[in-house]
Structure 1
Amino acid sequence: MFMFSIIVTPVIFKNNTRDAAGSIVGYLFPVYFPFVVGVSALSLLSYLLTLSWPLMRLQTIILCLLVSAFIFSMLNFTVIHPQVKKVKAKVHSFDKSMPDTVDEGLLRKKFKRLHQISVLLNLIILADGIALIVISQRF
């Protein structure tokens, strides 16, 4: 996630037009989102299988982080990403500074809002992962 979000995507957008970069990244998302869901599901499932009950405080924190990562990755994959794809398909171009029509301007705003939600969910999942790494190293 870190490589894709912090390195790969910015490099693609820096070296291509917005439309071309969006297309390139668009080819990666059908692999990226299911991968994140799979990793978060596998992490949660493997943790659940190793738990001893009743849960101690640290175990509860770890469980909450894993559950939230799974929920947010599923939300991104099953709700936000399909909406982003649908809206993006209706926008003729992101390269032009001004949209061709009022409708396209509204579509761009909707795309931007959905994209911001997706980025926020990705950042939360990434923060979850970092927190889990820190916890595992400290305890």
Structure 2
Amino acid sequence: MQVVTIIYRLAVSLWLGGAALFTFMLTPILFRSESRDSAGRIVGLLFPGYFRWGLACGVVALICRVILSGKGTLVAGIILAVMLALCSFQSFYIEPKAAALKKEIVSFETTPKDHPLRREFAKLHGVSAVCNLVVIAGGVVLVVLF
């Protein structure tokens, strides 16, 4: 069981670390150093892999948590299930819709913020950002408490 515990902790830590690195380091650096359109294109290319990483780490962590059973399993399992649900929602719903909208918006630099497509994209981006922060918060709780 010690190996399963190590794999569980590693999966959660890699998920949390990847999400934190992408959210708080990589994305801000790209948007500071590149044009809005260029940074958005790069981040858009990275998103599918980012979400697959989260899904893979989450599935491994959830399987390990089920195998481990015991103190905190139910709470940790619920947190992992919520994190996975949010990551799945981002991966299979938000990201494809946002990518399709980005193709319709010629340029984020020249298209007015009040343009209907930009407003729709902003809503999706807001929902995705909240999902991402909840996933990160869940990861922190799992690392600290379990």
1:78 lines up with 2:88 in the alignment: no
Identity over aligned residues, as a percent?
Answer: 27
1:20 lines up with 2:38 in the alignment: yes
For residue 51 of structure 1, the aligned residue among 34, 57, 69 is 69
Q: Which runs of 4+ in 1 moved over 6 A?
A: none
Q: Which segments of 5 or more consecutive residues in structure 1 lack a partner in the other structure? A: none
- For 1:58-137, list aligned pairs within 5 A: 58-96=72-110, 98=112, 105-136=115-146
Name the CA distance, whole Å, in 2 between partners of 1:82 and 1:117: 14
Which structure has more RCO (C-alpha within 8 Å, separation ≥ 6)?
2
* Matching residue of 2:13: none
How many residues in Structure 1 have an aligned counterpart in Structure 2?
A: 128
Deviation sequence 1:10-64 (CA, Å, 0-9, x none)? 0000011100000111111121111111111111111112215xxx5x3221111
Q: Aligned AA for 1:117?
A: V
Name the CA distance, whole Å, in 1 between partners of 2:69 and 2:54: 23
* Matching residue of 2:58: 40
> Normalised by the size of structure 2, how large is the TM-score?
0.83
Q: SS in structure 1 opposite 2:128?
A: helix
* Matching residue of 2:12: none
Name the CA distance, whole Å, in 2 between partners of 1:28 and 1:130: 23
For the aligned residues, what is the CA RMSD? 1.5
Q: Which segments of 5 or more consecutive residues in structure 2 lack a partner in the other structure? A: 1-18
Name the CA distance, whole Å, in 2 between partners of 1:83 and 1:95: 20
Q: SS in structure 1 opposite 2:107?
A: coil
